[in-house]
Structure 1
Amino acid sequence: MHMWYWFGVDLGSFLFPGYNVTTVWGLVATCLGLAALAVIYEAMKISQIHLQQITIKSVSRTNSTTSESSSLLFKVTPKNLRAYTKCGTCCSWILQVLHWSLHTLLGYILMMAVMTFNAYITIALVIGGCIGYWIFGSTLVDLNMQQFYRKRAIVECDKNCEDVFTNRQRQGSAVSIIAEQLVTEANIEVHVSANAINT
């Protein structure tokens, strides 16, 4: 096994036992396959974000029907997500976990391919990654910016909603204080009137 970059055709047994690369055409086919896997790896980043958005929308839909005040102040928390993942209809969550597992496995396979230190393999993976980023990079940046703006809007909404909720509580407590004062005044008037009648 080489511990430095080398240009060679004979890779021997490559990544899996029984997959022997000994010819130029075998190396070319392996490089093309690895470049395609690098493109798929970049594409899977976008599908992972889409699956996360589906899961978050499902969590917000199940929790938004609880009450009016909780839907105003709703945000996806680990507690909400844990409750969602324990439910019987968590197909999107299972799909997201499987997708993440495949994405991680593919990343490790590509890393092991680079660790053969064959320069042709590394060049093929870099070219495949560049092509994948060229195709999917702008979409990935757009999705990340949408998530950023959505999180920023939730934080701003949480501050505003918290102020509205606090004001409603203050108004409610002010109303209850005024109601208690009116009841106390009415009781005093009743007692005063009863004492005036008795004397």
Structure 2
Amino acid sequence: MHMTFWWSSEVDNFLIYGFNITSAGYLSLLCICVIFSAFFFEWLRYLQTKQRQRELILRAKQLSLICANENTILIARNLSDPRNPLNITVCDRVLLFGTDLSLWFSLQSLGYILMLIAMLYNGWLFIACIIGGGLGYFVFGQKFMKINMQNCQIIRETYCMATCGEPDILKQLINNFIQM
């Protein structure tokens, strides 16, 4: 068997043994489904980035709340209060993890399926993968990059500040590092 592209409208054993495409009409329908699947893959990547941003914003708000008040014991009590909107409860953690896990599983599965479709070496199906991914990137690419830049800004503003607004502690850590 040669590993070269072929341009026939007949595809034998498409991903599943016995699932054969025998006409140009069915191949066209299959190409439309592949375009939609590749577009859907890009949308899932966008959703995964949005999900990570939600968790990052929640964590940043919690950290800023803790650092904003001098009395961290009272804050710790407030964070354990289930009525606190910044509290991450067990239910919230399970929901965040479940959503992240399901998005990861969907992306991995669909990505491998699209790879297998491209590796059938049918030119029409390969072009359909490229068109769907390109359309998805055209629609979601700028949004994806914008969210990633916002995430970098959130991390920089939240985690790169002096330790809870106490620059003396930061200076001491730097001095200790220099003396080593």
TM-score of the superposed pair, with normalisation by structure 1: 0.66
**Residue 121 (str. 1) matches residue 117 (str. 2):** no
How many residue pairs align between the two structures? Answer: 156
In the alignment, is the contact (CA less than 8 A) between 1:2 and 1:116 conserved in 2? no
CA distance in 2, matches of 1:87, 1:60: 18
Q: How does 1:1-199 map to 2 (within 5 A)?
A: 2-60=2-60, 68=69, 87-89=90-92, 90-158=94-162, 161-165=165-169
- Bigger radius of gyration: 1
Question: In the alignment, residue 136 of structure 1 is paired with which amino acid?
Answer: F
* Conserved 8 A contact 2:31-2:124: yes
Deviation of 1:154 after TM superposition, in Å, equals 2.9
In 2, are the aligned partners of 1:64 and 1:70 still within 8 Å (CA)? no
Deviation string, structure 1 residues 38-84 (Cα, Å, up to 9, x no partner): 1111111110011112233444566776674698xxxxxxxxxxxx9
Deviations 1:68-119 (A, max 9, x none): 4698xxxxxxxxxxxx999354212211111111011100000000000111
Give how far 1:22 is off.
Answer: 1.3
Structure 2: segments with no counterpart, 5+ residues: 73-86, 172-180
Which of 1 and 2 has higher RCO (CA within 8 Å, sep 6+)? Answer: 2
Which amino acid in the other structure matches residue 9 of structure 2?
V
What's the secondary structure of 2:96's corresponding residue?
helix
CA RMSD, aligned part only?
3.1
Identity, in percent, stands at 25
